[in-house]
């Protein structure tokens, strides 16, 4: 099998059956943890862990801060699965493999996706520690022709040409704004456009200036391919970006982005994000 192909629907069903056999839980909500945000899985109750290495034909996480396991259990009164460790194209995986967990969870019964990431603040008004509700994305990889839906389309998953204008569910975004006020995030909750880039290098000054011009508010190296896949198979999605650093848009600035800062910011906002996500899940219909 080449990287240009994806696993067939029947093959994915077999992988899903293996996962189902390892847990009593049947989740309706999938939470994908971004870098430094694996603590979102710490509040899952009645938990059962399935390690990626125990799932056939499944990729493995290689990035610090990504544990490499599914945590199944209860959160906010609902059955959930928390993905502690995602996959990125810079790790060497084709985009269809990076987003295959979304399809697997769809087969298991998931209807909602809560996708999180650590992101650089492109918007000059954003500060480190802000939480941005994603209202839309600019998929730079997709604009260059690299899309998780490339190749033959199987209608069992979804249509050949899925619409993306409501891929970040307006109702969930509105609910998230309301809950953010309840959990004390009034002063650092934002809403904006996420720009998805390939990485693994951080962005140049010229690239940040370009992203500002085209309407970007935050940028990172994940998320868009997962949301595209979720939209294709009919999931409702909420996206949250934790602004882990302020992007440099001036050649005279000698501050450099680094992954340690990403992990530190995740620790700082751990409790707020846990409360926000838990209350959001409890109010999902």
In a domain, 79, yes or no: yes
- Which positions are annotated as active-site residues? 35, 66, 88, 90-91, 118, 221-222, 245, 259
Q: Which of 95, 105, 14 is nearest to 59 (CA)?
A: 95
The proportion of the chain whose per-residue pLDDT surpasses 90, expressed as a percent, equals 87
Instruction: Quickly tell me which residue has 């430094």 as its tokens.
Output: 36
In a domain, 4, yes or no: no
SS3 196: strand
pLDDT value at position 1?
Answer: 39
Cα-based torsion angle of the residue sequence 173, 42, 110, 217 in order, rounded to the nearest 10 degrees: 30
Give me the mean pLDDT over the 30-59 stretch: 94
Name residues whose C-beta falls within 8 Å of residue 264's C-beta, 6 or more positions apart in sequence. Answer: 36
Give the bridge partners for 50, in sequence order: 70
**What does pLDDT average to over the chain?**
94
CA atoms lying within 13 Å on the CB side of residue 158: 18
Q: How many helices and strands in the chain, by DSSP H and E?
A: 9, 9
Q: How many CB atoms lie within 10 A of CB 188?
A: 18
Q: Are 221 and 98 in contact (CB under 8 A)?
A: no
For residue range 237-283, what is the model confidence (pLDDT) as tens digits?
999 999 999 999 999 987 777 778 777 888 889 999 999 999 999 99
pLDDT value at position 65?
Answer: 66
The CATH number of the domain where 19 resides is what?
Answer: 3.40.50.1580
pLDDT value at position 2?
Answer: 44
Dump the DSSP string for 68-129: -EEEEEEETTEEEEEEE----GGGT--HHHHTHHHHHHHHHT--EEEEEEEEEE-STT--TT
- Token output for 259: 């992954």
Q: What's the CA gap between 66 and 165, in Å, rounded?
A: 30
In a domain, 63, yes or no: yes
Considering only 37-46, 230-239, 259-268, which range has the smallest mean pLDDT?
A: 259-268
For residue range 62-116, what is the model confidence (pLDDT) as tens digits?
877 668 999 999 999 999 999 999 999 999 999 999 999 999 999 999 999 999 9
- Token output for 40: 């979102």
**Higher pLDDT residue, 64 or 203?**
203
In a domain, 93, yes or no: yes
Q: What sections of 114-269 are H helices per DSSP?
A: 140-143, 170-182, 205-213, 224-232, 259-268
Looking at the structure of the chain, the number of domains it has is 1
Domain that holds residue 253: 9-282
For residue range 1-16, what is the model confidence (pLDDT) as tens digits?
345 578 999 999 999 9
Q: Are 29 and 284 in contact (CB under 8 A)?
A: yes
pTM for the complete prediction? 0.95
Give me the mean pLDDT over the 46-71 stretch: 91
pLDDT value at position 254?
Answer: 79
């Amino acid at each position: 099998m080449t990287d240009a192909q994806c696993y067939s629907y029947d093959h994915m069903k077999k992988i899903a059956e293996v996962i189902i056999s390892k847990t009593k839980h049947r989740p309706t909500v999938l939470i994908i943890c971004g870098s430094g945000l694996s603590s979102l899985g710490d509040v899952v109750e009645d938990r059962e862990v399935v390690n990626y290495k125990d799932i056939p034909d499944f990729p493995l996480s290689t990035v610090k801060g990504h544990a490499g396991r599914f945590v199944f259990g209860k959160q906010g009164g609902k059955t959930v699965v928390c993905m502690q460790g995602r996959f990125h194209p810079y790790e060497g995986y084709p985009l269809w493999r990076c987003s295959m967990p979304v399809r697997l969870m769809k087969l298991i019964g998931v209807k909602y996706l809560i996708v999180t990431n650590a992101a650089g603040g492109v918007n000059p008004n954003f500060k480190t520690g802000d939480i941005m509700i994603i209202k839309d994305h600019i998929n730079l990889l997709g604009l260059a022709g690299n899309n998780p839906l490339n190749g033959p389309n199987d209608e069992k998953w979804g249509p050949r040409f899925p619409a993306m204008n409501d891929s970040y569910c307006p109702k969930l975004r509105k609910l998230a704004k309301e809950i953010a006020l309840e959990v004390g995030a009034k002063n650092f909750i934002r809403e904006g456009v996420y720009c998805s880039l390939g990485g693994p290098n951080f962005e140049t000054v010229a690239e940040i200036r370009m992203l500002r011009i085209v309407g970007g508010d935050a940028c990172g190296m994940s998320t868009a391919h997962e949301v595209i896949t979720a939209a294709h198979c009919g999931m409702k999605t909420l996206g949250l970006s934790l602004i882990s650093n302020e992007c440099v848009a001036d050649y005279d600035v000698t501050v450099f982005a680094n992954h340690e800062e990403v992990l530190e910011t995740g620790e700082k906002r751990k409790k707020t994000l846990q409360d926000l996500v838990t209350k959001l899940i409890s109010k999902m219909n």
